[in-house]
């Protein structure tokens, strides 16, 4: 059986060639579907409120950036719609003790 060894190596290479791209595809990130949502927030009274909400939002996976304005009582949040929903953003703010709702 002198041919079994090269054959085994050939089979191994074939397997590697077939599975390597698949493995890479699996490790690949989903495409980013970036969106912006505006949230009305009641209960903010100072810049600490803005910062607390901003930090909480940016800890949410999928939130790219947020701008929170306590004077206007709103926030603008950039997020990846493949990772997080506007509802999760609203819930996160509500859990901090504010009253948030999606702005139209
Ligand atoms: Cu405050």
Q: Give the three-class secondary structure for 62.
A: coil
Task: Enter the tokens of residue 5.
Answer: 């060894």
Judged against a pLDDT cut of 80, whether residue 48 lies above it is answered with: yes
Angstrom CA distances, 33 to 8, 29, 66, 101, stand at 44, 12, 16, 22
Residue 25's pLDDT is 56
The string of pLDDT tens digits covering residues 3-26 is: 556 656 555 555 555 555 555 555
34-102 CATH: 3.30.70.100
Residue 45's pLDDT is 97
pTM: 0.72
Residues with CB under 5 A from ligand 1 (ion): 45-46, 48-49
Task: Give distance in angstroms: CA of 75 to centre of ligand 1.
Answer: 14
Task: Give distance in angstroms: CA of 44 to centre of ligand 1.
Answer: 6
Task: Give distance in angstroms: CA of 103 to centre of ligand 1.
Answer: 21
The string of pLDDT tens digits covering residues 28-46 is: 667 899 999 999 999 999 9
Residue 11's pLDDT is 59
Delimit the domains of the chain by residue range: 1-29, 34-102
């Amino acid at each position: 059986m002198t041919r079994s060894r090269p054959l085994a190596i050939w089979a191994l290479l074939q397997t590697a060639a077939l599975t390597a791209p698949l493995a890479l595809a699996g490790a690949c990130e989903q495409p980013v579907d970036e969106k912006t949502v505006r949230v009305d927030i009641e209960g903010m009274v100072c810049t600490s409120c803005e910062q607390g909400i901003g930090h909480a939002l940016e800890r949410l996976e999928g939130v790219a950036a947020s701008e929170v304005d306590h004077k206007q009582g709103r926030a603008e949040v950039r997020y990846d719609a493949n990772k997080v929903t506007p509802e999760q953003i609203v819930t996160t703010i509500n859990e901090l003790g504010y009253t948030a709702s999606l702005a139209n």
